[in-house]
């Protein structure tokens, strides 16, 4: 591709790629110089040019010498749009999901429902890039823009026609998922998280709202989980742009959840759509998984599938990794579940999901991440104390923080918790204490494969450890 065709000039300079890190610039690249949370990318413009950058997307006031300055007030957005022209084509149908909890689950269930309807499908999010053939981890929920667009283009080359992706608030604030056409976008819910980065709930919500006001196509659709306090705001913002809004949930109009009955390993839902009532046998437990399943169905319907077939396919989905995953039975016979709950709302949702599945006590192993929103720690403790019977307070990715100090903060909300810093020992204690009629919930790490302590990632997998201590 020629630079001129990208930016509407007569430049014949060949473009070989895009980079946002000057260390990844090769000859012929377009460099994006962004002001970041830790450093200012504009400080690396000269080095990027020395490495071969032929154009630099940067604010008008940035100094660019020896390369074309593509000036933009919001360089991240301009860069995304240019890079998308270079990397495309993309899968013909892409949808995005945002919300505090449920993005990964909804993205993955959307992929499964499309696949069951016969479309080669993929999802991109916390679990990495998932296709019918397998999963590849990317490290972040929303990868950087270059990785995101090249992954999407790679999927298209492999024949993927439908892709769902998770739009985290960090990703939205940093324009990490822009540029490609987005046919539909979904909102799951909003509760406290990430205030270390966004500072206020309003700024956090505003970051998420941009998915609906700017990112989704002007002729696209929006799916909202109607039973959240912020859903009306999302729907109003979407309608103000003339977008089609599908609402799902007990208060939903497109898919109205009339009833939900837990069964041994799943639940039966009564769902009303266009005047008809459907019975859906969902093989996943918990109100929160029903919510994610219905939002996923909403996205699949919004992108052209029929209602009856989509709801019928919900009976055929498989569990999402690390989300209420039933991983073992203890020697006493107590089921052990691994879940990714790492906010107070998610802990409540996971406990509520398991409560109907025990006639005995609910044991919870949990902690909170270091270098992340500190204000969520006390509420996480309080909710665990309120919703579970036996609490084992342990470490969950302390990162650069003192793990004992993190636990001390959570303990303020959960004074009755047993403090066992070593995560394996905490899981072992919970499993050993559980009686046959009890349930054990190991919360916070889900699919994760490591415990991040200081700057080291020590191998750790809740699922494997649960199986080992139960054996
Ligand atoms: C706080 C945050 O989100 N940081 C992310 C962000 O950094 P940033 O734009 O602020 O970048 P910066 O480090 O200040 O650097 C500014 C610019 O200079 C460039 N640079 C920097 C150094 C250099 O030598 N040369 C150079 O060119 C950088 O590439 C960057 O473009 O952009 C980087 C590249 O895309 C990300 O790697 C980095 O994620 C860090 C590692 C991170 O931990 N992010 C977490 C908090 C995150 O994003 N999490 C959400 C999860 C949310 C959820 O699931 O709930 C996610 O989407 O994964
Ligand atoms: N719809 C929901 N309502 C409330 N809690 C939920 C919902 N969906 C998921 N959760 C809780 O949040 C946890 C994480 O779910 P999931 O990974 O799908 O969310 P996410 O939004 O992708 O999270 P992250 O921001 O960490 O990527 C689950 O394990 C569960 O405890
Ligand atoms: N995407 C989330 C993951 C948190 C998972 C938990 N295990 C932790 O490390 O806090 C975040 O970055 O906040
Ligand atoms: Mg996720």
Closest alpha carbon to 376 in 132, 204, 151: 204
Helices vs strands, H then E, count in the chain: 16, 23
Ligand 3 pocket, mutate which of 338, 342, 371 (most atoms under 8 A from CB): 342
Q: Distance, CA 395 to ligand 3 centroid (Å)?
A: 12
175 CB within 6 A, ligand 1: no
- Say if ligand 2 is within 6 A of residue 323 CB: yes
pLDDT at 194: 87
Q: Is 192 or 47 the better-scoring residue by pLDDT?
A: 47
* Ligand 3 close to Cβ of residue 369 (< 6 A): yes
Report the binding-site residues.
99-105, 141-142, 168, 174, 176, 372, 396-399, 444, 448
The C-alpha angle 55, 57, 59, rounded to 5 degrees, equals 135
3-state DSSP of the chain: CEHHHHHCCCCCCECCEEECCHHHCCCCEEEECCECCCCEHHHHHHHHHHCCCCEEEECCCCCCCCCEEEECCCHHHHHHHHHHHHHCCCCCEEEEEECCCCHHHHHHHHHHHHHHCCCCEEEEECCEEEECCEEECCCCCCCCHHHHHHHHHHHHHCCCCEEEEECCHHHHHCCCCCCCCCCEEEECCCCCCCHHHHCCHHHHHHHHHHHHHHHCCCCCEEEEECCCCCHHHHHHHHHHCCCEEEEEECCCCCEEEEEEEECCCCEEEEEEECCEEEEEEECCCCHHHHHHHHHHHHHHHHCCCCHHHHHHHHHHCCCCCCCCEEEEECCCCCEEEEECCCCHHHHHHHHHHHHHHCCCCEEEEECCCCCCCHHHHHHHHHHHHHHCCEEEECCCCCECCCHHHHHHHHHHHCCCCEECCCHHHHHHHHHHHCCCCCEEEEECCCCCCEEEECCEEEECCHHHHHHHHHC
Q: What is the mean pLDDT of residues 363-386?
A: 97
Q: How far is the CA of 210 from the centre of ligand 1 (A)?
A: 19
pLDDT at 141: 76
As annotated, the binding site for ATP includes 99-105
Residue bearing the CA closest to ligand 3, atom 2? 342
- State the closest ligand 1 atom to the C-alpha of 44, by its place in the atom list counted from 1: 27
Give the residue, by CA position, lying nearest to ligand 1 atom 39.
140
Task: Provide ipTM, 2 decimals.
Answer: 0.94
How many Å apart are CA 446 and CA 141, to the nearest integer? 14
> pLDDT grade, residue 371 (50/70/90)?
very high
The rounded distance, in Å, linking the Cα atoms of 291 and 348 is: 14
Question: Could you count the other beta carbons within 10 Å of the beta carbon of residue 274?
Answer: 9
Cα distance between residue 141 and residue 124, in whole Å: 8
Q: Are 120 and 92 in contact (CB under 8 A)?
A: no
Ramachandran class of 290: left when φ > 0, alpha when ψ lies in -120 to 50, beta otherwise: alpha
- Measure 166 CA to ligand 3 centroid, in angstroms: 15
Cα(160) to ligand 4 centroid in Å equals: 21
What distance in angstroms lies between residue 340's CA and the mean position of ligand 2's atoms?
Answer: 7
* CB of residue 345 inside a 6 A radius of ligand 3: no
- The residue whose C-alpha atom lies closest to atom 9 belonging to ligand 3 is 369
- So what's the pLDDT on residue 390? 98
Domain 3-78, CATH 3.40.720.10 — does that match? Answer: no
317-330 mean pLDDT:
96
Q: What are the residue boundaries of the structural domains of the chain, listed by start?
A: 3-78, 88-314, 325-470
CB 282 within 8 A of CB 316: no
Question: Which atom in ligand 2 lies closest to the alpha carbon of residue 341?
Answer: 31
How many CB atoms neighbour CB 245 within 10 A?
Answer: 20
Which residue's CA lies nearest to atom 16 of ligand 2? Answer: 102
Ligand 3 contacts CB of residue 342 (under 6 A): yes
- Per-residue pLDDT band for 412 (boundaries 50, 70, 90) equals very high
Cα dihedral 170, 173, 175, 181 sign: positive
pLDDT value at 192 more than 90: no
Tell which one of 32, 126, 140, 444 to mutate to probe ligand 1, the residue whose CB is within 8 A of the most ligand atoms.
140
User: Is the Cβ atom of 171 under 6 angstroms away from ligand 1?
Assistant: yes
Summarize pLDDT for 59-81 with one digit per residue, the tens: 999 999 999 999 999 999 999 99
Task: Please answer whether residues 94 and 164 qualify as being in contact, where contact means their C-beta atoms are separated by less than 8 angstroms.
Answer: yes
The pLDDT of residue 178: 87
User: How much is the pLDDT for 204?
Assistant: 93
Fold of 88-314: 3.40.1190
Predicted pLDDT of residue 450: 96
Per-residue confidence at 367, pLDDT binned at 50, 70, 90?
very high
End-to-end CA distance of the chain, in Å?
58
User: What number is the average pLDDT over the span 247-272?
Assistant: 97
pLDDT band at residue 384 using 50, 70 and 90 as cut-offs: very high
Contacts of 385 (CB under 8 A, 6+ apart): 391, 413, 414, 415, 416, 417
Q: Please report where in the chains the tokens 């319907």 appear, as a residue.
A: 301
**DSSP for residue 37:** S
* pLDDT value for 143: 80
Q: Is the pLDDT of residue 138 over 80?
A: no
- How high does pLDDT run on average in the chain? 96
Q: Does the pLDDT of residue 196 top 90, yes or no?
A: no
Half-sphere exposure of residue 223, counting CA atoms within 13 Å on the CB side? 32
Separation between Cα atoms, residue 36 and residue 29, nearest integer Å: 20
Distance, in Å, from the CA atom of 319 to the CA atom of 323, rounded to the nearest integer, reads 7
- CA of 126, closest atom in ligand 2: 27
Residue 89 banded pLDDT, cuts 50, 70, 90: very high
Q: How far is the CA of 143 from the centre of ligand 3 (A)?
A: 15
325-470: CATH number: 3.90.190.20
Q: Helix 145-157 to helix 75-87 angle, to the nearest 10 degrees?
A: 20
C-alpha–C-alpha distance, residues 268 and 258, integer Å: 11
Which of these, 229, 443, 466, 448, lies nearest to 347 by C-alpha position? 443
CA of 147 to the centre of ligand 1 (A): 13
How many angstroms separate the alpha carbon of residue 372 from the centre of ligand 3?
8
Q: What angle do CA 355, 257, 387 make, to 5 degrees?
A: 20
For residues 293 and 284, the answer to whether their CB atoms sit within 8 Å is yes
Residue in this structure with the two tokens 């024949």, named with its chain if needed: 159
Test site for ligand 1: of 26, 39, 105, 204, most ligand atoms within 8 A of the Cβ: 39
Tell me, using a 6 A CB cutoff, whether residue 349 lines ligand 2: yes
């Amino acid at each position: 591709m020629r630079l001129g065709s990208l930016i509407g000039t007569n430049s014949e300079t060949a473009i070989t790629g895009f980079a946002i890190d000057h260390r990844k610039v090769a000859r012929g690249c377009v460099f994006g110089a962004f002001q970041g949370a830790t450093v200012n990318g504009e400080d690396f413009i000269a080095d990027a040019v020395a490495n071969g950058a032929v154009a630099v997307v940067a604010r008008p006031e940035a100094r660019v010498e020896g390369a074309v300055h593509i000036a933009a007030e919001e360089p991240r957005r301009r860069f995304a749009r240019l890079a998308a022209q270079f990397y495309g084509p993309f899968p013909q149908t892409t949808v995005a999901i945002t919300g505090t909890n449920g993005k990964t689950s909804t993205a993955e269930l959307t992929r499964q429902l499309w696949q069951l309807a016969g479309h080669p499908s993929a999802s991109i999010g916390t679990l990495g890039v998932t296709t019918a053939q397998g999963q590849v981890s990317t490290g972040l929920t929303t990868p950087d823009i270059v990785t995101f667009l090249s992954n999407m283009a790679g999927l298209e080359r492999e024949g993927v026609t439908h892709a769902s992706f998770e739009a985290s608030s960090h990703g939205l604030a940093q324009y990490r998922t822009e540029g490609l056409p987005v046919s539909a976008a979904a909102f799951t819910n909003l509760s406290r998280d990430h205030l270390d980065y966004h500072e206020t709930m309003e700024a956090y919500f505003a970051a998420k709202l941009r998915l609906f006001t700017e990112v989704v196509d002007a002729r696209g659709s929006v799916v909202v989980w109607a039973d959240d306090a912020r859903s009306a705001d999302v729907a109003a913002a979407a309608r103000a742009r003339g977008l089609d809004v599908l609402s799902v949930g007990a208060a939903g109009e497109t898919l109205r959840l009339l009833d939900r009955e837990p069964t041994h390993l799943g639940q039966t839902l009564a769902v009303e759509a266009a005047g008809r009532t459907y019975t859906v046998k969902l093989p996943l437990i918990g109100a929160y998984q029903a919510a994610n399943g219905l939002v996923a169905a909403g996205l699949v319907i919004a992108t052209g599938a029929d209602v009856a077939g989509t709801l019928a396919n919900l009976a055929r989905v498989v569990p999402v990794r690390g989300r209420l995953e039933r991983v073992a039975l203890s020697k006493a016979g107590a089921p052990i579940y691994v879940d990714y709950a790492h906010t107070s709302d998610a802990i409540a949702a996971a406990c509520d999901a398991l409560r109907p599945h025990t006639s005995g006590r609910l044991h919870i192993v949990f902690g909170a991440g270091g270098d992340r929103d500190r204000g969520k720690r006390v509420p996480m403790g309080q909710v665990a104390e309120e919703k579970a019977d036996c609490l084992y307070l342990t470490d969950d990715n302390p990162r650069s923080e003192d793990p004992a100090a993190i636990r001390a903060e959570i303990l303020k909300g959960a004074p009755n918790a047993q403090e066992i810093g070593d995560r394996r020992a905490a899981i072992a204690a919970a499993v050993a204490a559980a009686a046959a009629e009890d349930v054990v919930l190991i919360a916070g790490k889900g699919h994760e494969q490591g415990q991040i302590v200081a700057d080291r990632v020590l191998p750790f997998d809740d699922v494997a450890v649960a199986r080992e201590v139960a054996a």
